[in-house]
Amino acid sequence: MNATASERLAQARAWLRQDPDASTRDELAGIITRAAGGDAAAVADLDDRFATRLAFGTAGLRGALGAGSNRMNRVLVAQAAAGFAGYLLQRTQGRPTVVIGYDGRRNSRRFALDSAELFAGAGLRAILLPRLLPTPVLAFAVRHLGADAGVMVTASHNPPNDNGYKVYLGGADGGSQIVAPADAEIAAHIQRVADAGDVSLLPRSVGYEVAGEEVVDAYVSTTAAIAHAPYGVQEMRWVYTAMHGVGWETFSRVVKAAGYPAPRVVEEQRDPDATFRTVAFPNPEEPGAMDLAFTRARAVDAEFIIANDPDADRLAIAIPDAGAEGGWRRLSGNEVGLLLGWRAAKAAKAARDAGGAEGASLACSLVSSPGLGAIAEAYGLDFHETLTGFKWISRAPGAVFGFEEALGYLVNPGTVRDKDGISAAVALLGMAADARVRGITIAGLLEELGAEIGHFASGQVAVRVEDLSIIANSMISLRAEPPASFGTRRVATVDDLSRAGSGMPSGDVLRYRLTDGSRIVIRPSGTEPKLKVYIDVRAESAAEAAAAVAELEVAVRELLAERG
């Protein structure tokens, strides 16, 4: 056995000795036995599990469950909790307070309990939410309780065998997700804990608190106040799916408090189910994920569908469409974002006209529809483009609304400084109800918005690769030889956001503005082995905009084939 394999075995045995979880101990012990016997597959498995560790970044930790430093497990979570505690003790005067929440995924409650015990053992005031709850409730609780930090154990809409550790900071950060340099500083604390060795020696305490129901009650009442139901909508028919996540119990309370009629629920997906048994991938954006909701909607002749992802921080909307397969189509994140941005702009203008504070703004990620900028201009508001992620959107100065095309919406920044699929759903319910009173549908609202600011349409091209160097080489090629056109449409300007002085945080992003007003953005995915391209156009009609997107998608694929 070569030296590397011997070192891996030593690492694995050291990990095994400190692992408090019987299932991952058994898993790892079997691999060690096979690897020690010369099984090449087991040796490779150990290398995959221990050659690196899950990186702690601005999104915290996220990965597949299993034994090893490159998996989500109780050892890794203990290291993360102890490291985060060290960071909070260093940055906070007095005794830091941290709130911990968890969803319905495998091991979420166990990871949350470990974190609470370790935070308390390190001398922090640790407050555990009373039960499994949506991510937005944790984000709300950080601000509501005046906490210094929050941790949410969730992998959002990732595959069933994943879990994650999402971190928020209170105080000057306002309950937002972490950004640099906090991520690197926390990671350094975590690494020091890992280097010290056995996590079983870390101090633990059961002296943590369990938050009362009043925290959830406060979230429900605050969220219901976003858009109370107008008179005359009790016959409104709509469908809801929680996508096997934790959204239903909280959302149903909000719907009742706001006065809306109860939805027809997709019963098979209503309750938390860590196996996500009815979907191949628990993400409303994925093909097939909303098929049961479409079936339910057809059966009850629904007017629209609302879907949350498993931790309820994202929102999807679907509407009847005779031209779509099955008679229903899911609105894009940009379509929903523009509708909700329009709503926020009207409210901000009304507040300003009534003598309210100046400086209100709308914000979205740079890969989201530029239509939000057009709305801001029409209503005299400031507009901010940010890098992708609500850690940036939530920090936009004066933001009263923010969104990103991946179904994330910030509609109530005064209380939740992150995307919130429940608050966004209530805001959309309010728009649908008001429109219904006027005799129009959500589709009619989209037409009205298009008539007011122009018809915006968006498209995406994603190229998945096995070899990540292909993505890097494509970006190098595009920088070395910038395209002069996409099909027949010529490039007017190119922005390279990897260069200093771009006006926003640095990122591996190329943005092309075309002479006809269209825009193309190219960037590597931050979570998958993909090169992603975002296409946005503006036209006189919805049909013209859709045709332009289709033409540019072809041109983009041809360009990437040449550069790949």
Catalytic residues, by residue number, are: 156
Only one residue has tokens 């860590």, namely 274
* DSSP code of residue 132: -
Q: Per the structure block, which two tokens stand in for 213? A: 């129901």
Please tell me whether the peptide bond between 181 and the residue prior to it is cis, using omega within 30 degrees of 0.
yes
CB atoms within 10 A of CB 75: 24
Listed residue (433, 263, 406, 418) closest to 343, CA to CA: 433
Q: Give the Cα separation of 457 and 480 in Å (integer).
A: 29
Q: Give the Cα separation of 186 and 190 in Å (integer).
A: 6
State the distance between the two ends of the chain, measured CA to CA, in whole angstroms: 39
| Amino acid code (one letter) for 455 | H
Cβ neighbours for 92, distance < 8 A, ≥ 6 positions apart: 148, 171
Q: Give the Cα separation of 73 and 67 in Å (integer).
A: 6
- In whole angstroms, how far apart are CA 229 and each of 222, 224, 235, 428, 433? 14, 9, 12, 11, 7
Cβ neighbours for 164, distance < 8 A, ≥ 6 positions apart: 59, 60, 61, 62, 63, 72, 153, 154, 155, 156, 158
- In whole angstroms, how far apart are CA 477 and each of 470, 483, 497, 560? 10, 10, 16, 10
Listed residue (276, 264, 318, 268) closest to 156, CA to CA: 276
Contact 74, 21 (CB under 8 A): yes
- Which contacts qualify for 113-118: CB closer than 8 Å, 24 or more apart? 114/74, 114/77, 114/78, 114/81, 115/77, 115/80, 115/81, 115/151, 115/153, 116/208, 117/204, 117/205, 117/206, 117/208, 118/78, 118/81, 118/82, 118/85, 118/202, 118/203, 118/204
- In whole angstroms, how far apart are CA 204 and each of 121, 363, 436, 497? 4, 42, 55, 45
Relative to beta strand 408-410, strand 399-404 is antiparallel
Q: Is the sign of the CA dihedral 292, 245, 529, 478 positive or negative?
A: positive
Q: Per the structure block, which two tokens stand in for 405? A: 């095309």
* Radius of gyration in angstroms for the set of CA atoms belonging to the chain, rounded to a whole number: 24
Q: Give the Cα separation of 437 and 111 in Å (integer).
A: 47
Q: Angle at CA 276, nearest 5°, toward 270 and 280?
A: 125
Q: Per the structure block, which two tokens stand in for 428? A: 């959309």
Only one residue has tokens 């589709």, namely 443
Q: Give the Cα separation of 379 and 359 in Å (integer).
A: 12
